[in-house]
Structure 1
Amino acid sequence: MNGDVPAPESPYAVEGHGLVKNFGSFRAVDGIDITVPAGAIYGILGPNGAGKTTLLRTLLGIVDPDEGHRALLGADQPLRMARQVGYLPEERGLYPSMKAYEAIAFMGALRGLPLAEGRRRAKAMLEGHGMGGAIDKPIRQLSKGMAQTVQLFGTLVHDPRLVVLDEPFSGLDAINQEKLEALIRERARAGVTILFSTHVIAHAERLCERIAIVAGGRIRFEGTPERARDRLRSQVRLRTRASDGAWRRALPADTLAQDGAWHFALPDGGIEPLLRELIEGQAGIESLSIERPGLHDAFVAIAGADAARAMDAARNEEEAA
């Protein structure tokens, strides 16, 4: 069910231009431009307090910007498209006495899905994902992971064109995180646009076609994860039998000796000229590996070490909980 309100066709499911949102003297969103291509999996990546939730709510029309404008599924008034959107807020909330399938159907009814059809779809979703035994159970009897899955199904049951998930992986164990990643990919293959925020870099690296790195209410980087990684040079790890010789002059100036190996950034001219020098100089190459920087390394370079430490601390707290 895709709602009653037609909207102009656009290559972007979500657009925001010059968005500013203040709360008193605090600027939570500071001049953000963002465009989410239709059908993409798009991640907003940043530490807690970076402005991710406020940005999502502003784009959805839950709060209005103080400056700038936004469009949702081609409509300049985002709330007009509410029935075509599935939104999972960071603050989870289900009626504890409601049965699992009823909770899903109820959430669908809030988006215009007839209750009887919502119940039918809810049972099919639960059974199709190995949760048939939870259909008639009240929410209070479900594990935390299962309850979060029920709320996610309630976000999807009306077949939205756009799914917006605010920190969807928070509080889930590794198994349920993998199930959620699979569900996101499944919806994307069906042409649904997925926009989610996260402070866990690994999810963005595995899932996203495009990302925005947010810190201090501003977008520090926007593009593909590959382009973010390309901002850093690959790192070389070299072990040699000889510890000294004329060949050492061929090593780059940034070379460090650590753990019995030489470490340096991949030279601009590639590794082949250096290999030739090492072989001719009889360095005795024991091993050589070239490691491309990960998205975590790129995040540190783009957003700063403090932002990366804040994200790592939040992830560690969740894993310990």
Structure 2
Amino acid sequence: MSTFVKRLGGIVTNCYLGIDAGGTSTRAALVLPDGTCLGTGRAGSGNPISAGPELAAQNVLTASQAALANAGAEPSLLADGIAAMAGSRVAREADWLNDPLHAAGLPISLTLEPDLLAAFLSATPQPDGYAVVAGTGAVAVRVRNFELERVTDGLGWLLGDAGSGFWVGHQVVRHGLAALDGRADPTALTDALLTALDLDPDAPAEVEGRPGAIQHAVDLLYTWRPVELAQLAPIAFEAAREGDATARAIVHEAALALRAALAAMLAPDISGPVVFGGSVLTQQPTVAEIVGAQLPEQEPILTTDGLVGAANLALRRGGITVTEAVFDRLTETIAARR
């Protein structure tokens, strides 16, 4: 008799698989209809865009098997499941994901769900509301009846993501180098940027008429993928806290961009709740305060990932009513297994 069945006193019951398949990692939760999390598992990237469908499917399988093993449960106990992921729109047919799962003995077919919906439903059991997620990228959504009704931004580094970690990091580079180049007033961002890049501010010129530090920064930064500029965003937040005028202006502009994204989502018949996700909002109170002022009657709910929401969706798509008590149990028992 499995550990799972022993835990339930010998009664075999249905369980559900919720998977949060992100660009960095994939996490799975095995849950009961009452919201109890029995086991969790983790693997690498589950994003079919960045990792490719084959690797993404393998990581979803690995995380799912780990969750079953963690619970001491057999695959035959699975009743249903979903995988919440970005990039699923280009792979709406899920054979690429489910065929490897079936071949490995998992008897269910996962339904693909938007990661943004999972992010919202990780913070609340309510059917309607709003979410703003600002990490490397930035996007705002409106949720109605447990479905994404409208989305704004999230257009990537070239076309959008205003107020995101990428956007802030890009501004750090632009303003820091502009000051060094004499095109802008001095700012603490310049020294902080060169320190972060491990560059000598007094490096001799290698191109006639151009400071060596600028050329070295250009040479280095053009080897980065654009989204990697997000790792420079903390420079702006720290300099803003220390009173640097340029940094404070960057942070304020980022907050206004995110607030505008939220404003674009508002509908007269949906008052909230509003969910904030991503490090720009969850770790920067100044930004969160400005964005939250768009809905002053709502206290933003912070969420750090979409695993609770994925489990929430797995139950809902499986026909289970997720009450406040079930949602609270999901939140508590998944947190206990982090």
Task: Give the TM-score normalised by structure 1.
Answer: 0.26
Which structure's residues are more often strand, by fraction?
Answer: 1
Greater radius of gyration (CA): 1
Task: Give the TM-score normalised by structure 2.
Answer: 0.25
